[in-house]
Amino acid sequence: MKNTQKYFILLLMLILLVPSNIWGQETKKEIIVKGVVEDDLGPIIGASVVAKNQAGVGVITNTEGKFSLKVGPYDVLVVTFVGYQPYELPVLKMNDPNNVTIKLLEDVGKIDEVVITASGLQQKKTLTGAITNVDVKQLNAVGSSSLSNSLAGVVPGIIA
């Protein structure tokens, strides 16, 4: 009789606990957002598209400025690129998540100086490469949307 009573209590506890575990597990609905990032001149290559509050969820636009990213329905996409204002777009406000067009606006006033450094020290007499200083005014005069194209027009030996 005692064993039967123990099994009955154990069975009753299992019956009461199992439904709470089932209801507590919600599946996260995810949406695949596809689109293109562009400016006045066309697609932007290499723009960063990330989910605002999710670490590690993000992509870089391809050579056509296109991206595809899996996010939650309540996430906010943040699009950034050097020389442009950041753009935030809530997923809920998208009419068609499969065809999103994001247009970035230039932010010329923010870039005062671009510094490219290498690790390690080397004496000038043993240096085999070239060193060039570039003024931001020179880069702005070129008027290109990508840093590599701007440098190609100012620094000798760089081909974009």
pLDDT of residue 86: 92
pLDDT of residue 96: 84
According to DSSP, the β-strands at 31-39 and 58-60 are: unpaired
What domains appear along the chain, each with residue ranges and CATH number?
A: 31-108 (2.60.40.1120), 111-154 (no CATH)
pLDDT of residue 113: 61
pLDDT of residue 149: 76
Give per-10-residue mean pLDDT for the chain (160 aa): 77 70 61 91 91 85 92 89 89 84 82 62 69 76 73 73
Q: For the whole prediction, is pTM greater than 0.75?
A: no
CA dihedral 133, 137, 140, 141 (to 10 degrees): -100
pLDDT of residue 114: 62
From 28, 95, 80, 93, select the one nearest 50 (Cα to Cα): 80
Burial of 8 (0-12, 13-18, 19+ CB in 10 A): exposed
pLDDT of residue 135: 78
d(C-alpha 145, C-alpha 41), whole Å: 8
pLDDT of residue 150: 77
